[in-house]
Amino acid sequence: MRISNATLADGRVVDVRVEDGEIVAVGDLDPVDGESTIDADENLLLPGAIDVHVHFREPGFEHKETWETGSRSAAAGGVTTIADQPNTDPTTTTGEGFDAKADRAAGACIDYGINGGVTPDWDPDSLFDRPLFALGEVFLADSTGDMGIDADLFASAAERAAEAGVPVTVHAEDATLFDESAIEGDLGGAGRDADSDAWSAYRRAEAEAAAVERAVRVGSESGAQIHIAHTSTPEGVDAAREGGATCEVTPHHLFLSRDDCDELGTYGRMNPPLRSEERREAMFERLADGHIDVVATDHAPHTTDEKDQSLLDAPSGVPGVETMVPLLLGAAVEGDLSLERVRDVVAANPADIFDLPQKGRIEEGADADLALYDLDAAREIRGDDLHSKCGWTPFEGFTGVFPEWTMVRGETVWDGEEFGDVAGENVRV
């Protein structure tokens, strides 16, 4: 197969030849006899995005998401590889827990990795016996699933990961710095009427940098490779970089701030929480200038019934895997970000950090994970149009550029209307 007239993020217009799921040539390619051609019509061809932080919820919470619905949502957003987090039921903290998840992951239509998690009753021997994508997210404070661990367990887990040569991804918040007084008193009504700004005041910005500092210290003591998940403050990003760790930011911390809490209510409750508009802008700058390595979604779907509770009862987390690349391309169209930067933070950089040499690049020898975008076809994001089981988005009404089609290893998994029958594979097997 030949994809003709594709514009790459660097502006080159090329043809791409795909054979047996791999890119075998990129350049000015004459068609060969009997070869099928897909005309890209000079639209933008990006490597399939790698979202290293999603919660596909299965096993245990199939009412929120499944590997089938989550992976379809990813494919419809140009994402062709994901890494799933361990706060499922059972938790992915033992060999058995890993195997239970691997069974379900077979239902994915895109490629994936499975992370191992840490709890006081984890079983590192059997867990590290499995092909882990990473150890993480290691929760330094409780979040959905209440998997927060103490300093000693974190240090010993980092040592095990270093021995195994597995990177460690860290949910960095220090609960001792949370401001309990912020969530006492009147917290508004349920769902959209709740005062989610109080959540931001409670899980204060200062709690992030302190936890990042501890994580990078443990990283250098143990020799473990540390990657900070969902950094939400410029202070957290700077502490990660100074300590030699890589870091990611979510789309919600790039595009939403405490100014949106009034409208979102509990639909804007997540960990770490939304930050001030000033900090949001600082995060965007650090993304644009290269200080942040990766955008990853922390896709954390919950049902509207669950979200339509009081601020304290509603679970934390928002969906995002389908809207990440569309939002970033929307920002690129506005001139806020270069296309090369978008390509690097969603594909090349996660591939480098998590050692996926086959993924994240449009070059000879790489997997033909690809997505095509018409930058003139930006449209309004609507929860009703998305494919996550949860059925809502915190980005309702934002503008995004969605893929015309998405391919996994040369097979069309999304053609703009329907899903193809693609069997996702574990990238570590």
Ligand X SMILES: NC(=O)N[C@@H](CC(=O)O)C(=O)O
Q: Specify the length of the chain in residues.
A: 429
Q: What is the DSSP letter of 218?
A: H
x/- map, 131-150, Zn ion, by CB under 5 A: ------x-----x-------
For ligand X, the binding residues in 252-271 under the rule CB under 6 A are: 270-271
Q: Which of residues 308-347 bind ligand X (CB under 6 A)?
A: 316-317
Contact 277, 259 (CB under 8 A): yes
Q: Is the dihedral of CA 189, 299, 396, 199 positive or negative?
A: positive
Query: Does 253 appear as a known binding residue?
Result: no
CB atoms within 10 A of CB 131: 15
**Which residues inside 67-96 make contact with ligand X, applying CB under 6 A?**
87
**Residues in Cβ contact with 31 at an 8 Å cutoff, skipping those fewer than 6 apart:** 2, 4, 37
**Minimum CB distance to ligand X smaller for 293 or for 298:** 298
Q: Which residue lies nearer to Zn ion by CB, 85 or 119?
A: 85
Least distance (Å) from ligand X to the CB of residue 404?
Answer: 31
Does the annotation flag 299 for ligand binding?
no
CB 361, CB 352: distance < 8 Å: no
Choose one: 254-262, 294-302, 324-332, 419-427; the region binding Zn ion (CB under 5 A).
294-302
Q: How far is the CB of 219 from Zn ion (least distance, A)?
A: 17
In angstroms, give the least distance from the CB of 424 to ligand X: 21
Nearest to 317 by CA among 260, 235, 250: 250
Residue ranges in 228-257 that form contacts with Zn ion under rule CB under 5 A: none
Among 58, 208, 213, 298, binds ligand X (CB under 6 A): 298
CA distances for 329 relative to 5, 260, 332, 369, 400, angstroms: 20, 21, 5, 18, 7
- Rounded distance, CA 194 to CA 260, Å? 12
Q: Look up residue 201 and give its amino acid.
A: A
Least distance in angstroms from the C-beta of 143 to Zn ion: 5
Give dist(CA 73, CA 48) in Å, integer.
Answer: 14
List the catalytic residues.
298
CA distance 225 to 353: 9
Is 87 marked as a binding-site residue? yes
Q: Which is nearer to ligand X, 270 or 325 (CB)?
A: 270
Alpha carbon 428 to its chain centroid, in Å, reads: 18
Instruction: Note every long-range contact of 417-425, with CB atoms under 8 Å and residues 24 or more positions apart, other chains counting.
Output: 419/72, 419/75, 419/76, 419/109, 420/109, 421/109, 422/75, 422/109, 422/110, 423/106, 423/109, 424/71, 424/105, 424/106, 424/108, 424/109, 424/110, 424/111, 424/112, 425/111, 425/112
Q: Note the helical H segments in 289-361.
A: 304-307, 324-333, 339-343, 349-353
* Residue linked to tokens 């030699």: 244
Minimum distance from residue 376 beta carbon to ligand X (Å): 34
| One character per residue 127-166, x = contact with ligand X (rule: CB under 6 A) | ----------x-----xx----------------------
CA distance 173 to 402: 33
Q: Is 387 annotated as a binding residue?
A: no
Does residue number 55 form part of the binding site for ligand X (CB under 6 A)?
yes
CB of 229 to ligand X, least distance (A): 7
**Distance separating alpha carbons of residues 313 and 308, to the nearest angstrom:** 9
CB-wise, 60 or 410, nearer to ligand X?
A: 60
Q: Answer whether 302's CB lies under 8 Å from 315's CB.
A: yes
* CB closest to Zn ion, residue no: 171
| Binding of residue 298 to Zn ion (CB under 5 A) | yes
Neighbour tally for 42: CB within 10 Å: 12
Query: Least Å distance between CB 4 and Zn ion?
Result: 40
171 lines the binding site for Zn ion (CB under 5 A)? yes
Q: Return the number of the residue (225 or 232) whose C-beta is nearest ligand X.
A: 232
For residue 298, say whether it is annotated as part of any ligand binding site: yes
302 is in an annotated binding site: yes
Nearer to ligand X, 136 or 424 (CB): 136
For residue 203, state whether it binds Zn ion (rule: CB under 5 A).
no
Q: Is 55 annotated as a binding residue?
A: yes
Q: Which of ligand X, Zn ion, none interacts with 144 (beta carbon under 5 to 8 A by kind)?
A: ligand X
Task: For residue 51, state whether it binds ligand X (rule: CB under 6 A).
Answer: no
| Residue closer to Zn ion, measured from CB, 139 or 373 | 139
**In the numeric block, which tokens belong to residue 266?**
């509990």
Q: Is 252 annotated as a binding residue?
A: no
- Binding residues for Zn ion, per CB under 5 A? 85, 137, 143, 171, 298
Binding residues for substrate: 55-57, 87, 302
- Binding residues for ligand X, per CB under 6 A? 55, 87, 137, 143-144, 171, 270-271, 298, 300, 316-317
Binding residues for Zn(2+): 53, 55, 137, 171, 230, 298
